[in-house]
Structure 1
Amino acid sequence: SAGALSGTLYRDPDSNVVKWVAANGGDSRAAVIRTNIASQPQARWFANFNISTAQQEAAAYVGAANAAGQVPVMSVYQITNRDCGGASAGGAPDLNQYRTWVSNFARGLGNRLVVIVLETDSIALLTCLDQQALAARNAALTYATQTFKAANPNAKVYLDGGHSTWNSASEQANRLRAAGVQYADGFYTNVSNYNPTGNEANYGRQIISALNGAGVTGKRQLIDTSRNGGAAGDWCGDDNTDRRIGRYPTLNTGDSNIDGYLWIKPPGEADG
């Protein structure tokens, strides 16, 4: 597979698209959605902050994937000041509560391979943070990475790499190092955009090169291909009806720098 991961990605029978197809069998679009989208594995987003249910939520999803003999992809989206208070605002009220949530969630991760996409936009989007808040966020991301990997030695954790038309590769690499990428397995890109896979792979190679130059070696990339199959329209096409799905999800990438092409942001769902 060239990348560091192998296995079949988990197809969640309770995903929104599977539920939609089941409830709308008479819709003229149902057949193509069933065949081309509902058939594919997607990430499960853990975005509703609840300390008391965190362990149970993780254990239920991981347990279902383990029972199917498949690899779950879990998008953790709970960081304080999420989206800098924008359209996707929410998450933990403060970083102490965030750490508690992380610790509880970690107890539900089991001991088999799980892929954790940690806190979309948390490193690429920092405009709302002063230096003290930035240092606290970086410490929280490092804590989450180390806590997840300590709880499950087979957990693979990836930090926010933004995308190829956002920050420069050198800047993003510096931010990743500050956030503890040395303790993670790598970084992910394109969750917040629809850039072509080739552009993202090139951007990833530049980040990896910058990390290597700073002594942080062995890191790999995940690329979100859920919505980057091309489309007309402006960037605001999170809700653009002409967006197209990209490469199907797989851990068999054929590229030693890339651990997976994943559908992290579910195609067809509004963003923010």
Structure 2
Amino acid sequence: MRRSLTSAAVLALALAAAFLPAAPGTATADGPAPVRFHTPAHTSAAYAQYRELLARGERSDAAGLLAMIRTPHAVWLGDGGAAETEAEARDTVRAAAREGTVPVFVVYDIPGRDCAGYSGGGVGTTAAYRAWIDAVARGIGASPALVVLEPDGLALLPSDCGQDDAAGTRTAARYAELGYAVDTLEPLAGTRVYLDAGHPGWHTVNSLVARLIRAGAERATGFAVNVSNHHTDAASTWYGRLISSCLGHATAGGDPAACPNQRTDPRTARDWLARHPGVRHFVTDSSRNGRGPWTAPAGRYSDPQDWCNPPGRGVGARPTAATGDPLHDARLWIKTPGESDGLCLRGTAGPLDPERRTADPAAGEWFPAQALELVRLAVPALPTV
């Protein structure tokens, strides 16, 4: 091996050692073949739209949609019983092993999920959640895998939703549930766990870090940023670096309130980062951030729901482990582009999404109009031939 490996090559080597099967592919003088992520089977509705576009002679859109469908993206585990989830996880890691790829799982079944909102659900009790997590662990086994743990699980605590009692019983249970998931999944031989950390347009670094620590972030590989949201890669990675630095400061006994956050003057924050190196790794979601976040017309909506099926968005940069940043383990497509966020009423009485003038599909269902937007407005562009 050459002594003059670039930092990107060093990162690729580390990821390959952590995630890839014993024979991942052809090695080069600079190290192993690049990490490749798994592409799960897509919904029948996605392929039905592809066939419809071809039948209408809209070959450019059809090619772009097929490219989007075939881009590696995460497998979401949730809403299934323990046995079903275990089988799905096991089938996924076996399929990935045959390909020499690494699967990305989103573990999404915590009690009180999404404050009982559009993606509400989850198992009913802490005991049931622990049993479900045990099933996920059995399914993954010793295989290589990335796990994004419970989107919004920390950013939307029961106390944030008005669903807790005065003693904070449900919020305390949430932290214990997340800690159990970390302690069960992270020790698996090939698994790396990333606790969801919201996005840069939501909680400050300071408040989020305190939550991450209480949930066991120091026992996980790291955290995930921008899951299912639309913030740019630059904003997401900056937020990730700040969180990683603040985690190091706080776990060494410092006060998270002293850390710079995403609203701090960048020059001040860079000075801090130079003195407080990051300690935890992170992944980011670029599945729908090609055009960045949506800003609703001023004064039009009492609750714009800028996260919910925003119009005029495009898919973003393709998944890769070659980020060039030793703390940024991977850019991933965590949200499945083309799947709806739910019916977005934006503070109106409905029954239609007032921005789209249609009834958006239920959360997780295929949304053909949005899928076509994401294809046409992709940055960088998707292949259309």
Q: Same fold (TM over 0.5)?
A: yes
2:257 corresponds to: none
SS at match of 2:76: strand
Q: Is it true that 1:26 corresponds to 2:63 in the alignment?
A: no
* Greater radius of gyration (CA): 2
CA contact (8 A) 2:90 2:139 kept: yes
RMSD of Structure 2 on Structure 1 (CA): 2.0
Q: Which runs of 5+ in 2 are unaligned?
A: 1-7, 17-34, 253-277, 297-304, 343-385
Q: Does 1:111 align with 2:147?
A: no
The one-letter code sitting in structure 1 at the alignment partner of 2:120 is A
Percent identity of the aligned residues?
36
Contact 1:197-1:228 at 8 Å conserved across structures: yes
Aligned match of 1:5 in 7, 15, 26?
A: 15
TM-score normalised by structure 1 residue count: 0.92
For 1:68 and 1:21, how far apart are their aligned partners in 2? 27
Q: How far does residue 112 in structure 1 lie from its aligned partner after superposition?
A: 2.6
- SS in structure 2 of the partner of residue 239 of structure 1: coil
Is 1:163 the counterpart of 2:195? The answer is no
Partner of 2:329: 259
* Greater relative contact order (CA < 8 Å, ≥ 6 in sequence): 1
How far is the alpha carbon of 1:21 from its aligned partner? 5.7
Deviations 1:87-129 (A, max 9, x none): 1101111111011111112101032320001100000112125
Q: Name stretches of at least 5 consecutive residues in structure 1 with no aligned partner.
A: none
Number of aligned pairs? 270
Structure 1 residue 186 displacement after superposition: 0.4
Of 321, 336, 341, 1:271 maps to 341
| 1:124-135 pair list within 5 angstroms | 124-126=155-157, 127-128=160-161, 129-130=163-164, 131-135=168-172
Asked if the contact 1:10/1:73 (under 8 Å) is kept, the reply is yes
What residue in structure 2 maps to residue 222 of structure 1? 283
Confirm or deny that 1:245 pairs with 2:315. Answer: yes
Residues 39-48 or 208-217, more deviating: 208-217
- Residues of 2 paired with 1:22 and 1:230: CA distance? 23
The CA distance in 2 between the partners of 1:244 and 1:165, in whole Å, is 19
Once the two structures are TM-superposed, the CA of residue 19 in structure 1 deviates from its matched residue by: 3.4
User: Residue 260 of structure 1: SS of its match in structure 2?
Assistant: strand
- Offset from partner CA, 1:26-65 (integer Å, 9 cap, x none): 2523122113x12310001112131232211110111111
Q: Is the 8 A contact 2:96 2:102 kept in 1?
A: yes
* Pairing 1:201-216 to 2, within 5 Å after superposition: 201-215=237-251
In the alignment, is the contact (CA less than 8 A) between 1:224 and 1:264 conserved in 2?
yes
